[in-house]
Structure 1
């Protein structure tokens, strides 16, 4: 079993996925706007499988998205972090937040912490973000992180029909920007 980390920022706690995250995660994926660019609306049993997938990935590989907890309230507000499923176009730092957490800068704050983690702890030389071409909000997050559009891309099955844009940056670009 691989040890799992806990990251903290000024406003957030990032920790591995736990079963207690299920209800809020299911709320997020029941919301049409929130689920639009991350596979569409999902029934709670499907979300349960996603929670189990993330928890299992932490256990088996030490790499999975963090559950993001708002410090002030203790509530789960999303999932952000490193992710590299089989056949993915590269090592990714991705994000998805519950709609009641939108507009607070949490995606950038959490993604920045996990970019540091991906480069400094995981040793990744490069990070991508696979973003739906119509997802203007995620493109703004990527830009605020210092990432740039690289190319059109494709995800593996079962998402091969969804065109994405690949955004990203190298560890050296990230470190130069963070100085």
Structure 2
């Protein structure tokens, strides 16, 4: 578990399903994701199981993003590197009611720091749909820069990322 100023980042769990499914039921949320995710409860179940399974296989995954003040589930964020992904990534997905609060940036920074320290990453990337300007802005706020375009899951995505600054710092 990690804590930031306003958030608790803890492993996703089956108990998060109702909140997770409500988040993914919003087509405005899912339309911004680089991976194809539907809006049905079955789609949410599959997605949640994928993130929990990723943690079992890789030892890390997206975390549940919880507001410290209220204890409410706000979304998911964290490191990510499933089969076929073009590198070690960080990502974020928040319920629309939590957009505009800076939570994606706060969680993204924590995930990036985790990748460089705990996972000893040399480079960390984020895949962002060209239409998702909000996520591109988050990527830039956490220090990522646009690197290139790439095909992922049959669509063109912008690859943002950054390399480790200095091993001695």
| TM-score (normalised: structure 2) | 0.93
1:78-93 matches, within 5 Å, as 78-93=75-90
- Selected match of 2:29 from 21, 34, 41: 34
Q: Is the 8 A contact 1:146 1:169 kept in 2?
A: yes
After TM superposition, what 4+ stretches of structure 1 lie above 3 angstroms from structure 2? none
Q: Tell me what 1:51 maps to.
A: 48
Query: What is the CA–CA distance in structure 2 between the aligned matches of 1:134 and 1:40, rounded to whole Å?
Result: 16
1:170 aligns with 2:167: no
Post-superposition CA distance 1:116-163 (Å, at most 9, x none): 1110001111000100001100011011111100000122xxx2x221
CA RMSD after TM alignment:
1.6
| TM-score (normalised: structure 1) | 0.88
Q: Tell me what 1:123 maps to.
A: 120
Paired residues, number = 167
Q: Is the 8 A contact 2:37 2:43 kept in 1?
A: no
1:100 aligns with 2:100: no
Query: What is the CA–CA distance in structure 1 between the aligned matches of 2:129 and 2:24, rounded to whole Å?
Result: 16
Query: What is the CA–CA distance in structure 1 between the aligned matches of 2:91 and 2:139, rounded to whole Å?
Result: 9
Q: Which runs of 5+ in 1 are unaligned?
A: 1-5
1:62 aligns with 2:59: yes
How far residue 40 of structure 1 moved from its aligned partner, in angstroms, is 4.8
Post-superposition CA distance 1:65-94 (Å, at most 9, x none): 111011111111111010001111111001
Q: Tell me what 1:25 maps to.
A: 20
Q: Which runs of 5+ in 2 are unaligned?
A: none
- Selected match of 1:74 from 64, 71, 77: 71
How far residue 47 of structure 1 moved from its aligned partner, in angstroms, is 0.8
Query: What is the CA–CA distance in structure 2 between the aligned matches of 1:135 and 1:37, rounded to whole Å?
Result: 6
Query: What is the CA–CA distance in structure 2 between the aligned matches of 1:60 and 1:168, rounded to whole Å?
Result: 24
How far residue 52 of structure 1 moved from its aligned partner, in angstroms, is 1.3
Give the SS at the match of 2:165.
Answer: helix
